[in-house]
Structure 1
Amino acid sequence: MLTGKTFLITGVLMESSIAFHVAKLAQEQGAKVILTSFGRTMKITRTIAKRLPQEAPVIELDVTSEEDLAALSDRIGEHAERLDGVLHSIGFAPEGAFNFLEAKWEDVATAVHVSAYSLKALGVAALPRMSEGGSIVGLTFDASYAWPVYDWMGVAKAAFESTNRYLARDLGPKGVRCNLVAAGPIRTTAAKSIPGFEQFEESWDTRSPIGWDVNDPVPTAKACTMLLSDWFPATTGEILHVDGGVHAMGI
């Protein structure tokens, strides 16, 4: 399905990462994959990259660094002439952002910068390498609701979802689609860093009409891989729910 395509995959930190499974599925479907990491996590990502079906190169990218963003096209060029898609699997909020009423602006600003603005920043930085018909896919946690414990990260995700729509508007004429996958709770490294996230894990399966396995990132990864492919050529600005149907259920 993806033979001859090249994708830039962010967010590969552990084998449990959704991004790792997107990279794995993409390779299994014939794609070339380039991973990103930065700082102390570079060594970890390079180790995990060896566990893919084919070891993938890892280039440095901190989405809050103007220097890294400016250099991204050249760094990609060391491994591929063009990109057919980008997976945005990036999110972070300081601990203080998980207390809605007491959070300081500095913590909120960090959450919005890393978790929302970075979608635009990454899309623009990758654009010089993007081919006609390319696809940007991001991961969100449905921001239609005020969730327990999620607090300012939920606000950042709402901004992220809005950013996707505007990015779809502005990159569409350039031949690039932009979509999000709203996943149910997956037991990843990022999820474990959210205080009280186990509240979602404990209730999601009972609310889902088809059940939900918090230890299985593959359904979400499959959706991301499909959106990166050519099988959704007329879909952009969309949010695809892969949450066991919880978003469609009442109490």
Structure 2
Amino acid sequence: MGILDGKRLLVTGVITESSIAFAVARLAQEQGAEVVLTGFGRLSLVRRVAAKLPKPAPVVELDVADPEQLAALADGVREHVDGLDGVLHSIGFAPASCLGGGFLEAPWEDVATAVQVSTYSLKSLAVAALPLMSEGSSLLGLTFDATVAWPAYDWMGVAKAGLESASRYLARELGPRKIRVNLIAAGPIRTMAAKSIPGFSQFEDAWNGRAPLGWDNTNAEPVARTAVAMLSDWLPSTTGEIVHVDGGFHAMGV
């Protein structure tokens, strides 16, 4: 038996096999969950990746900035499962001007895009999925520790700070419905999205020798294991929390 036996999960953000979301979806299936994915843009690519899971997963189109697609999400998911016990928010995007050292020059229009897709989308996804979520469900998101300023991360760091705050407010709003809302603050993983950040190597260099447990930036398994645990019934009274999965880096000084 797996700790997710009988659970129905919606997993966003699967782009390639190196995606953290893919690692979560794979392990969730291995632990007994029925998984539905969402995809944006190149759906054929997402479907090819979905076919590489232990059990090929259906893909529902979702652009979190499109009100019509958000409104249609519940019906699209219902074509595959009759409800949801967990949702993984693994969505983030910032235009090039918002990353790489141009913090003072990035225009509001680009910053607004970063905030809408990377921050506000947690609330948008929660509201869209709410008709399907049962008591005891879990909404889980991914962040990159926003308590400090990082080189080159710029407005995405600000968006992640907003995401962390939004998760606490959602925990407050959804708690009476017995829905948990938490985040995982993951260390740097070499996903396609991460490699698109100018100066990403500076993140990797920072972890070398400082994370007391060590850190393998090519292995999303530790993050996936934590995600599966948090999507299970084993943390029934944990909400509004940010769990660090970074080898202990966040707790160390120089």
**Where on the TM-score scale, by shorter chain, does this alignment land: which range?**
over 0.9
Number of the residue aligned with 2:27: 25
Task: Give distance in 1, aligned partners of 2:67 and 2:206.
Answer: 40
Residue 110 (1) aligns with residue 113 (2): yes
TM-score normalised to the size of structure 2? 0.97
In structure 2, C-alpha distance between the alignment counterparts of 1:34 and 1:192, rounded to whole Å: 26
1:193 CA displacement: 1.0
Give the 3-state SS of the residue equivalent to 1:73 in structure 2. Answer: helix
- Cα distance in 2, alignment partners of residues 36 and 148 from structure 1: 31
Structure 2 equivalent of residue 66 of structure 1: 67
Counterpart Cα distance in 1 of 2:187 and 2:236: 25
Q: 1:230 aligned to 2:233? A: yes
The amino acid across from 2:246 in the alignment is D
Assess if the C-alpha contact under 8 Å between 1:2 and 1:31 holds in 2: yes
* Alignment RMSD (CA, Å): 0.6
- Structure 1: which 4+ aligned runs deviate by more than 2 Å? none
1:80 aligns with 81
Q: CA deviation at 1:210?
A: 1.1
2:164 matches 1:161: yes
Amino acid in structure 2 at the alignment position of 1:36: T
Q: Distance in 2 between matches of 1:3 and 1:246?
A: 33
Q: Size of the alignment, in residue pairs?
A: 250
Q: Take 1:203 and 1:175, find their aligned partners in 2: how far apart are those partners?
A: 38
- Give CA deviations for 1:60-113 in whole Å, capped at 9, x if unaligned: 100000000000110011011110000000000001012111110011101100
Correspondence list, 1:125-140, <5 A? 125-140=128-143
Q: Is the 8 A contact 1:205 1:213 kept in 2?
A: no
Deviation at residue 187 of structure 1 after TM alignment: 0.2
Equivalent in the alignment of 1:8: 10
TM-score (normalizing by structure 1) = 0.98
Partner-residue secondary structure (3-state), 2:29: helix
Separation of aligned partners in 1, 2:47 and 2:130: 25
